[in-house]
Structure 1
Amino acid sequence: MRYQAELGDIDFITGDYLAEVNIAENAQAHAAGKHPGWEQTAWDGIKQTINLLNEKRIKVVVNGGAHNPRGLAEKVQELVTSKGYNLKVAFILGDNLFDEMKDIREKGLPPHLDSENSAVTLADHGLDLLEKSDKPIVSANAYLGAREIVKGLEQGADIIIAGRVADASPVIGAAWYWHGWRDTDYDELAGALIAGHLIECSGYVTGSNFAGFYEYPLDDLYELTFGIAEVERDGTCVITKHDAKNGFVTEDTVKCQFLYELQGNVYLNSDVKAILDGIQVKAEDGKNRVRIWGIRGAPPPPTTKLAIFYLAGYQSEIVVNATGYGTSEKFDLWERIIRHGLKRQNLLQKFDVLEFQRIGVPEANPKSQLRSTTYCRLFAEASDENVNMALLGLLSEFAMQHYSGFHSQRETYETRDPADLSSLGQTVQTRLGDVVLARSGDKGGNANIGFFIPTSLPSSYPRSSPLYKSSWDWLRTFLTSAKLIEMFGDSWDDRFHVERVEFPGIYAVHFVVYGVLGRGVSGSSRLDAFAKGMGDWLRDVVVEVPEALLEGRVRGAEEGRYGREGGDGWKL
């Protein structure tokens, strides 16, 4: 706010401080006397800017009063009085319909915003407010228009603190008052509505949240000044910004913000409908100036939006990560474990929402562990907090029953009698994990990783198979310290140190990577601070494997037990 007043010539500062999320978050705390009800950032802006407001006679219209516009107005008036300034402060009430809505189950729910659209199906639990008795209302606020703002300005207000007026209403009210429009000047009001829509979201029209950001210098995309709307008498406008600070206004940034939060080709507001089909956007001569015109207006709808918040219950969010080889199966296992535990406690059907969301896909042949790591997000909601708390108990109960990689040797040597790898035949590119298993973990700031030839998987070679011995010869010869460093790819740092040993009795090669976990565990900046997923990340790296070793396992899979025949028999 201070930058807008300080860096150039403006007549009004408008501000939209409210979203559904902060209205809901603060309602309960305000009702309990633990929150002032208004938005702290609105107060911060006015406090920082009050001297300039007085000096330049800039008027302010904001909806930062939220649940308590009177309270913020009184606080601002105290500041004005303490400064000895001649500024008049006003506030707007009327949006708070809590008392009217608190008996909604007896009186009935107002129609849903989309209720007249037969093609729209309400979301699950969308009518819980009516259908369930344990959902008390927290707040109910109507989205007011600009008429009250105009009245306040006409009565000489310099600073107007509103509650829930619609996002663009402060701009509509300022332009309406400035140009002396009538409430039937629909084209002009519609143009002001779109001007307000374009600058309501801080820096969104000056480079923030801009889809084409990557074609601009990244250093131009922060420390932004916000947009300015020059609204003309006919309702057309120019969007611009102060030359100081960063950001830019282009046809594309204007188009991006215009297309945000629209309802289609008709934008509904308490004061006017804006018909958008004919909109035109064109850059003017000079930097950071874009003209918008072609908006037509129509009478406003007979109703306005009403946002009702109620206590839906309790939510839990649990995020676990998995790395590399077998990621999909790991998440299958984890979901099955959790569902099993809830079913055993007769809680599985008591959640309103229980979702296991898989986020991302691990990179094929990953260049680093981070690029091999993805997430499973458990999202749960229930009316009873004890139902949700049961998830915490399950995490504890099954803490050591999970998928691989769930997140100090002194001797070091390479293999002492390396095999001739060419004797194993042609190689193919495949993931290391197609041949070996692995286990990894932490030792302070160091990670240990062991790779071994499996013997008890359905796909394992029988011990008597020549391929079993050949696979060990290949692993101990192929998996050198240098190869491990190569497999680390972008994750390797020359400050790390590797130690390598072998355990021939179990056909395993073991590494310690010193320094890879930084200060270790809680002091590590690595996503996988315990190195639990490091082994599976490396199993997902593509390497050269003798074709014979791989074919043996593939064909065996087709036969169920990889070629076992009555004990020692073997076939390829």
Structure 2
Amino acid sequence: MSGKHLRSRFEEQGRRPVRIANCSGGRNDPGYQMLRHAERGYVDFITGDYLAEVSLAENAEAMRAEKHNGWFDTCLDGVQQSLDFLAEKHIKVIVNGGGLNPGGLARKIQQLIQEKGYGLRVAYVSGDDILEEVRSELLETKQLPPHLDGDNPDVNLNRLATAFLDTEMKPLVAANAYLGARGIVKALDAGADIIICGRVADASPVIGAAWWWFGWNDADYDRLAHALVAGHLIECSGYLTGGNFSGFDQYNDLDLFVDIPFPIAEIELDGSTIVTMDDTGKGLLNEDTVRCQFLYELQGAIYLNSDVTADLTDVTIKEVRSNRVQVRGIKGSPPPATTKFGIFYQGGYQCQLLLNATGYATNQKWDLLEKQVKYRLKRNGVLEKFDILEFQIIGTPQENPESQLASTTYCRVFAQAPDEVTCVMLRKSWAEFVMQHFSGLHYSLDFRAAMPMRYIAYYPALYPQHRLQESAHILQVDGTTEKCLNAGHPPNFQDPPCKRISFDAEPLPTRTGPTKRVRIGDITLGRSGDKGANLNFGIIPKDSSHWPWLRSFFSRAKLRELIGKDWKDEYFIERIEFPNIQAVHFVIYGILGRGSSSSVILDALGKGFCDYIRDKVIDVPVDIFGHGE
């Protein structure tokens, strides 16, 4: 952008903070969430994150079968509902709702604009789809691209992680690189009002909006790093404003968490941010909700992005008044030379059989079930053909139960196999013993739940940024392309700083006084979630005076102990502290297998892990509570 135009825009905007709203944290957030921001909120941009790791791949298969447009209908619905207000209020939209077909969605929206007679300009960003390139390289070299966690010698990859090298048995479905904000900025410079992206990084729409608004350059690393964190905070929509909040039970009025508003980030010229929301009388936004969301989906103290590397160690989060929380203290530096990309492939087939047992002798009942099923599978010659066969027991019968439901647990017989026939044999083998079952067996629905379904597996890898062919495409009113702008590449790269800061706090002096039995959740808040094969978990004290004890207590060894029977020696734990916000954060490598779409565990997204740990009962020194507790 020329200096003249930059000065003109700054004079018009008065260098005020840019207000960036979020309308979606996933493909199911409805279109009316965009409308709400456009109608009642004073915002400059509306951003939306519609993508999850597996949704691109699911859409890819449906697109090839001509059963899907490749974009997200909820995104289109949001624009369609909001178009009148977008035009009236000059609100710009930046979303990744284009999925695998951002050009198709952009042209559809341009058609809607033309029908209404508005002068809004639409653009889309391309360059993330690298499927054909990856497919050709795999066929030619038979070499694995570097795994996202490959530089960590302590990480053990899942034994099935490299199965996609057999491209005939495990054909590739999609391969998409995470793009930064450069294409978005190019489109805004060219006058675009609505920008449709595919697989840009979750925070890229927010980074691009702030970058363009203030006219930053691509070496304003501290500012870009703050915008990255602002995007990280608001991209999960309701997760910042009361959704998925571990402290919801402290509030008597649960209606507070029904139909909550989605967040807004007010970003200053220096990048520092106030996160806020419309005051509708619903939702919750305070230091606790912001700290919890900050800890979500981190991979340590160093946050890598295509445009900037952010050091989060000294982050500060402070409530300045009701529904307004300031975030600052982020340090930026050049981005890494690589960006993340995901390879998605047909992993085979999976199925589950759900069987219920009531009350008496439950443990023996499940032992008998496993013996029966494995016996028949072996006799049928397929037991060794399964990639995965697990008998997962969910729940514990209530002692002296008050109802039959309180006495009931269920077994999830979960299987994965390369072919459909093997999975079919799970149901068939059990059916052969169906009249030999343990006493009191009953079913969840019926055997249709055991029918095999294809599943998509995931391999997170690294891709050289200099090879990206990222572009912004500006459409004319008839939907044809007026011009195509090369996004270029960052001017400087660096080797990523060490992100595995795995120290434990110095243990506190041994206390010899009395202790009390406490559920961890009574004195802490936290959040957990998935990133590929890994699970992250952050925890903070409810009472700030408990911080010295909490940071000393939550060591890597203690977390392994608390994980209990779910721990496996192939897992690896990293640990980091954020002292300014009194948080301990862990990454548990490998616990989700190959990632959520093919994970064996019931909590495939890792969201329940935090409350599992918070449900543990421990001995806490009485003196940390002070007098009167």
TM-score after normalising by structure 2? 0.64
Distance 2:186 2:311 in 1: 26
SS in 1 for 2:280: coil
Q: How far off its partner does 1:131 sit?
A: 5.1
Distance 1:44 1:380 in 2: 38
Q: Aligned pair 1:99/2:132, yes or no?
A: yes
What is the aligned partner in structure 1 of residue 97 from structure 2?
A: 64
What is the aligned partner in structure 2 of residue 335 from structure 1?
A: 370
What is the aligned partner in structure 1 of residue 88 from structure 2?
A: 55
What is the aligned partner in structure 1 of residue 76 from structure 2?
A: 43
What is the aligned partner in structure 2 of residue 11 from structure 1?
A: 44
Given candidates 239, 244, 260, the residue that maps to 1:224 is 260
SS in 1 for 2:411: strand
Name the larger-Rg structure: 1
Q: Aligned pair 1:248/2:284, yes or no?
A: yes
Given candidates 201, 205, 226, the residue that maps to 1:170 is 205
What is the aligned partner in structure 2 of residue 370 from structure 1?
A: 405
**Alpha-carbon spacing, 1:114–1:352, altered in 2? closer, same or farther (3 Å):** same
Q: In the alignment, is the contact (CA less than 8 A) between 1:223 and 1:245 conserved in 2?
A: no
What is the aligned partner in structure 1 of residue 337 from structure 2?
A: 302
Q: Aligned pair 1:406/2:441, yes or no?
A: yes
Distance 2:266 2:434 in 1: 60
Distance 1:245 1:3 in 2: 15
Given candidates 316, 327, 331, the residue that maps to 1:280 is 316
Q: In the alignment, is the contact (CA less than 8 A) between 1:225 and 1:245 conserved in 2?
A: no
Q: Aligned pair 1:239/2:239, yes or no?
A: no
Deviates more, 1:81-90 or 1:24-33: 24-33
Q: In the alignment, is the contact (CA less than 8 A) between 2:56 and 2:99 conserved in 1?
A: yes
Q: In the alignment, is the contact (CA less than 8 A) between 1:12 and 1:174 conserved in 2?
A: yes
What is the aligned partner in structure 1 of residue 562 from structure 2?
A: none
> Once the two structures are superposed, what CA deviation does each residue of 1:286-332 show, in whole Å capped at 9, x if it has no partner?
x2000001011011010000101001100101111111111111111
- Equivalences for residues 313-324 of structure 1 within 5 A: 313-324=348-359
Distance 1:347 1:171 in 2: 51
Q: Aligned pair 1:83/2:116, yes or no?
A: yes
> Once the two structures are superposed, what CA deviation does each residue of 1:242-301 show, in whole Å capped at 9, x if it has no partner?
11252021000000100000010001110101100000011012x200000101101101
The unaligned stretches of length 5 or more in structure 1 are 408-572
**Alpha-carbon spacing, 1:96–1:132, altered in 2? closer, same or farther (3 Å):** closer
Q: Aligned pair 1:360/2:390, yes or no?
A: no
Distance 1:394 1:62 in 2: 48
Q: Aligned pair 1:144/2:179, yes or no?
A: yes
Q: In the alignment, is the contact (CA less than 8 A) between 2:380 and 2:429 conserved in 1?
A: no
SS in 1 for 2:303: strand
Which amino acid in structure 2 is aligned with residue 106 of structure 1?
Answer: E
Q: How far off its partner does 1:396 sit?
A: 2.5
Distance 1:264 1:318 in 2: 37
Q: In the alignment, is the contact (CA less than 8 A) between 2:353 and 2:427 conserved in 1?
A: no
Distance 1:241 1:159 in 2: 22
What is the aligned partner in structure 1 of residue 305 from structure 2?
A: 269
Which amino acid in structure 1 is aligned with residue 51 of structure 2?
Answer: L
Deviates more, 1:385-394 or 1:86-95: 385-394
TM-score after normalising by structure 1? 0.70
Q: How far off its partner does 1:366 sit?
A: 1.7
**Alpha-carbon spacing, 1:244–1:7, altered in 2? closer, same or farther (3 Å):** farther
Given candidates 247, 250, 255, the residue that maps to 1:212 is 247
Distance 2:97 2:435 in 1: 49
Q: How far off its partner does 1:378 sit?
A: 1.0
Q: In the alignment, is the contact (CA less than 8 A) between 2:266 and 2:274 conserved in 1?
A: yes
SS in 1 for 2:397: coil
> Once the two structures are superposed, what CA deviation does each residue of 1:433-479 show, in whole Å capped at 9, x if it has no partner?
xxxxxxxxxxxxxxxxxxxxxxxxxxxxxxxxxxxxxxxxxxxxxxx
Given candidates 430, 447, 450, the residue that maps to 1:395 is 430
Q: Aligned pair 1:381/2:416, yes or no?
A: yes
Q: In the alignment, is the contact (CA less than 8 A) between 1:7 and 1:244 conserved in 2?
A: no
Distance 1:34 1:314 in 2: 21
Distance 1:105 1:378 in 2: 36
Distance 1:106 1:379 in 2: 36
What is the aligned partner in structure 1 of residue 324 from structure 2?
A: 289
Which amino acid in structure 1 is aligned with residue 247 of structure 2?
Answer: G
Distance 1:235 1:290 in 2: 14
Q: Aligned pair 1:347/2:376, yes or no?
A: no
Distance 1:334 1:52 in 2: 60
CA RMSD of aligned residues (A): 1.1
SS in 2 for 1:341: helix
Number of aligned residue pairs: give it. Answer: 406
Distance 2:75 2:386 in 1: 38
Deviates more, 1:389-398 or 1:319-328: 389-398
Distance 1:399 1:123 in 2: 34
Q: Could you tell me the percent identity over the aligned residues?
A: 57
What is the aligned partner in structure 2 of residue 566 from structure 1?
A: none
Which amino acid in structure 1 is aligned with residue 112 of structure 2?
Answer: L
Q: How far off its partner does 1:368 sit?
A: 1.8
Which amino acid in structure 1 is aligned with residue 69 of structure 2?
Answer: P
Given candidates 255, 258, 262, the residue that maps to 2:294 is 258
Distance 1:26 1:315 in 2: 19
Q: Runs ≥4 in structure 1, deviation > 4 angstroms? A: none
Distance 2:397 2:247 in 1: 26
Which amino acid in structure 2 is aligned with residue 270 of structure 1?
Answer: S
Which amino acid in structure 2 is aligned with residue 231 of structure 1?
Answer: I
